[in-house]
Amino acid sequence: MSLEPATREMLQCLRRLPNSSQLADTIPRIIAAYKADHEPWIVGYSGGKDSTAVVKLVFQSLLRVRIRHKPVTVIYCDTGVEIPMAAALARKALNGLEKEARAFELPIYAKVVSPSLSERFFVKVIGRGYPPPTDKFRWCTDRLRIDPVTRFLESQKLTSATVVLGVRESESATRQLTLSENKTNSRFWKHQRGEDNRRLFMPIVDYSIGDVWLVNLLIDRPRTLRAKQVAELYAGASGECPTVRDVQGAPCGKARFGCWTCTVAKNGVTLRNLIAHGENRLEPLLEFRLWLERERNMKKNRWPRRRNGQPGLGPMTLAWRRIALAELLKAQERSGLELISQDEIAAIQKEWSFDVSR
């Protein structure tokens, strides 16, 4: 099967749009990177606009490679506390991705990873007593997102690999600084965690939000990644809507999808906007998330010493953790959504048993 005529038409369309010449250059750049060595590719996918664009671009690039000599694995990390509708859309997209790739004889595979039971958010917070994350103690990123992917890479016993990410410099000043410190050459970066046999490839690092939406809405395949549904989700979460006809208009890129429990992002803006756009079942989740943020900052909810006996605020008290589980179960019942599994509850109670004996 071939999409060459459609591809030429798409690239010609991109070149006619303002500020979009770089988009037409991205596919040849990805093709060159793919052909350059025999390292398997791992593509990070979150279901958001940036990772959706990267998967689409990689898919289109492989359509133009005659000898597809190495596999491409698209990985989605389900933390267990993703915003429900975003998680459902991402899983639905991955369910059909391999089938669509097989139709074009592309070596693209899909994999869902998740944190181990002991590392899940509620087991850590309600079971172990970790305080909900803050800017100064953001323990969640490693345990919920990075570690599951790392374990997958280790399980594959890869001697080397290229990790392809939908990271953009224009996302934030902090992101831009981090990228500049770790850059090795054009669109390749060192792996920050020190694995010398892995490097990062970021094909849309210099894209604007508008560029990302152009890719998502103009590139047809893979059709399992439904750009219109992603756009509708962002529109509901940010109050803005991407368009192709008005490329100077404000595209929706302010929304941040991820953990609905996140107490680092202030005030639960994404949840609030989704509720305002009709997702009323998220109201109990927002209430619980705001409750977590308030309770985290109350000294009465913390042990007076750390677990190692050193002075300083320690874990959340056992009494607070019992209340937290009760509040979470109320939110689960009111929302009709599964927010915590029976396995997690059992793991939480096991953690409690250790502290009862202290």
Highest-scoring range by mean pLDDT, 105-119, 134-148, 164-178, 262-276: 105-119
CA distance from start to end of the chain: 66
All structural domains of the chain, each given as residue ranges with its CATH number in brackets, are 4-117+139-227 (3.40.50.620)
Eight-class DSSP state of 163: E
Asked if 59 contacts 108 with a C-beta cutoff of 8 angstroms, the reply is yes
What confidence tens digit (pLDDT) does each residue in 309-336 have? 888 888 999 999 999 999 999 999 999 9
User: Reduced to 3 states, what is the DSSP secondary structure of residue 64?
Assistant: coil
pLDDT (tens digit per residue) in 4-44: 444 455 455 555 554 455 667 899 999 999 999 999 999 99
The fraction of the chain above a pLDDT of 70, given in percent, is 80
Q: What is the pLDDT of residues 172-185, one digit of tens each?
A: 444 444 444 445 55
pLDDT at 226: 86
Sign of torsion over alpha carbons 6, 74, 22, 216: positive
Q: Report the alpha-carbon distance of residue 41 to residue 31 in Å, rounded.
A: 12
Nearest to 183 by CA among 164, 172, 199, 195: 199
pTM for the complete prediction? Answer: 0.82
What does DSSP assign to residue 113?
E
